[in-house]
A = this chain, B = another copy of it.
Amino acid sequence: MTEPRTPDVAATRAPAKKHARDGKPNATIYDIAKVAGVNPSTVSRALSKPGRVSAKTQKLIEDAAAELNYQVNPFARALPTGRTNTFGLIVADITNPTFFDIIRGAETTATVRDYTLVLAESAESAVTELTAARRMMATVDGLILASPRMDDDDIRTLARDKPVVVINREVDGVPCVVPDVNKGISEAVRSLAANGHTKVAFVAGPAQSWMSARRWEGVQAACEWSRLEAVRLESTKPTVDGGRQVARDVRASGATAVLTYNDLLAIGLMQELQAAGMVVPDQISIVGFDDIFGADFTTPPLTTVRSPLGECGSGAATLLLDLLHGTGEPAATLRVETELVLRGSSGRLLPEG
């Protein structure tokens, strides 16, 4: 080594910035340029515009970069370009297991494509959600909204600024990933019909939930097809507790089989019915939706219409990344299949004993 980087001034300067607490400052393209004997702009091109510089210089620069252990400064890059290699995911409730797999799916896909996932929670509030979304917009390249609570119009407004993908809801003009409930529901209802049930109750979710409406429609249609009677009951909230509270109405309805908006409701409902002495599935069949973590912890384990949540998350991420790099695709809705997961909470109705 002929010269030790920078004379003796080097020892004095460097207040304490990029190299947070100790260590040497991170290498910059200027350092590389010096080592490789070229202009910084050439370094920039070599590192980000493939083919723009000659193979010889390319190699020279890459070697220097490797030697200096160079890493781009994401902020410096983001400033002029606006690109951040980051995208946001907003979920209604981090502790709702429905979102676990969505988060994981999105995170995994992001990491593979060299993106970073930024997470925010809306606490089930439309305004919090919009605030979080707005704040994120400034720092991400795109946004995924999982089961958003805000208005269609707000979503479209956001989508005009940066690519947005919606999960579990369909919004005109915005790319969406939605489970197609029909297959799973018809399997479920056919199974119930085959087991001798004639009256089915559906416990609905939140009034503003797009998904709840779809599921109710699906249940109605499938029941009609199988010539079963379908009744709709309302729940107070889509949680275990809400499930407990709706148990009274379920018994009063006279239905022998229940489908609930989601698994949490089903679990709460089953707990309450069992506590009241009813036997599942001998006296009543219970079917949930989603197949969340823990759905098989119950006794009997919960029959449920599974949505491939992980797939939704990774599908949304893929859609988003394609949108970001892609050729300005048509932004179609991505539909993923649902299927019945038959476990112990549904089955043949036993004659009154």
Contact = CB atoms under 8 A, between A and B. Distances in A.
A82 interface: yes
A82 B267 CA distance: 48
A253 B15 CA distance: 62
A162 B18 CA distance: 10
Nearest to A271: B297
Interface string A80-109: 111010100000001101001101100110
Contacts of A20: 82, 161-162
Contacts of A103: 94, 119
Given A23-B161, A160-B22, A117 B120 contact: yes
Number of copies: 2
Main DSSP-derived SS at the A contact region: mixed
B76 A79 contact: yes
Interface stretch (A57-65, A67-75, A203-211): A67-75
A18 B274 CA distance: 58
Contact of A101 (B79, B95, B274, B294): B95
Nearest to A137: B20
Interface string A288-302: 000001100111000
A95 B104 CA distance: 7
A68 B298 CA distance: 56
Nearest to A274: B299
A293 B293 CA distance: 9
Contacts of A136: 116
Contacts of A13: none
A120 B18 CA distance: 22
